[in-house]
């Protein structure tokens, strides 16, 4: 069973690429953002707590997303592989994942990292706001806070995975098709 991480700043195109990847390779797409938005839509206790944090651009606590991921992995033992999207987002989450996967007989096979400069992150999120209507995409201060949270908490994962030797970078400032082709090339190796 394969375990891939789709990595990158908010708005880098992870969700768009994830859809195409899982269609072609039959992996299970696990987006912590989608899982959290599902909880919010259902109005669960977890969803209510998460909404507050998400709508101001903060991360939800590590234990919350770690629990969600573990449950999904444990419940899906018959898939070909997993594509994590938006997880891990902190060093602590990455360490938990590294400790968890061997329990399931696996490891992180590769980190597919989509790069995008901050100005474009901003533009893409504002554009997506018009299409998807996500509350965390509409407010300038929230977007700025998400970008700075990305730099302080998530970006350190790049050197974490570079040290492990499974980090692969893909230019995100390109067409959807070109980015997808670059990703497939790595997955087909």
The residue ranges that bind ligand ADP (CB under 6 A) are 10-11, 14, 32-33, 36, 53-54, 58-60, 65, 86-87, 89, 93, 136, 146
What six digits make up the tokens of 180?
């997808």
Based on CB atoms, which residue is closest to ligand ADP, 39 or 187?
39
* Tokens 């082709």 sit on residue: 181
Measuring CA to CA, how many Å separate 167 from each of 60, 144, 161? 25, 26, 5
Based on CB atoms, which residue is closest to ligand ADP, 82 or 87?
87
CA–CA separation, 113 vs 14, rounded Å?
A: 9
Based on CB atoms, which residue is closest to ligand ADP, 89 or 161?
89
CA–CA separation, 108 vs 5, rounded Å?
A: 7
What six digits make up the tokens of 17?
């690429």
| Phi, psi dihedral angles at 125 (to 5 degrees) | -65, -40
Nearest 5°: the CA angle 21, 153, 50 is 75
User: Minimum CB separation from ligand ADP for residue 186, in Å?
Assistant: 20
Q: Which residues contact residue 175 at a Cβ distance below 8 angstroms, ignoring those fewer than 6 apart?
A: none
Handedness of CA 41, 20, 98, 171 (dihedral sign): negative
**How many CB atoms sit inside 10 A of residue 151's CB?**
12
User: Minimum CB separation from ligand ADP for residue 96, in Å?
Assistant: 11
Burial of 163 (0-12, 13-18, 19+ CB in 10 A): exposed
Based on CB atoms, which residue is closest to ligand ADP, 144 or 189?
144
User: Minimum CB separation from ligand ADP for residue 32, in Å?
Assistant: 3
Q: Which residue is nearest to ligand ADP (CB)?
A: 33
Based on CB atoms, which residue is closest to ligand ADP, 68 or 187?
68
User: Minimum CB separation from ligand ADP for residue 35, in Å?
Assistant: 8
User: Minimum CB separation from ligand ADP for residue 87, in Å?
Assistant: 4
User: Minimum CB separation from ligand ADP for residue 69, in Å?
Assistant: 8
Based on CB atoms, which residue is closest to ligand ADP, 85 or 187?
85
């Amino acid at each position: 069973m394969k375990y891939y991480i789709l990595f990158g700043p908010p708005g880098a195109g992870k969700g768009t690429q994830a859809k195409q990847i899982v269609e072609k390779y039959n992996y299970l797409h696990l987006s912590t953002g989608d899982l959290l938005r599902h909880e919010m839509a259902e109005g669960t206790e977890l969803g209510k707590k998460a909404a507050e944090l998400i709508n101001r651009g903060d991360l939800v606590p590590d234990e919350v997303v770690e629990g969600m991921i573990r449950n999904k992995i444990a419940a899906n033992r018959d898939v070909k592989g997993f594509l994590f999207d938006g997880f891990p987002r902190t060093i602590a989450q990455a360490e938990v994942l590294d400790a968890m996967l061997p329990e399931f007989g696996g490891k992180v096979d590769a980190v597919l990292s989509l790069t995008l400069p901050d100005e474009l992150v901003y533009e893409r999120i504002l554009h997506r706001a018009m299409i998807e209507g996500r509350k965390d995409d509409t407010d300038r201060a929230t977007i700025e806070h998400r970008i700075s949270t990305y730099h302080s908490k998530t970006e350190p994962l790049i050197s974490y995975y570079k040290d492990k030797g499974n980090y692969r970078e893909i230019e995100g400032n390109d067409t959807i098709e070109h980015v997808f082709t670059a990703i497939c090339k790595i997955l087909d190796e």
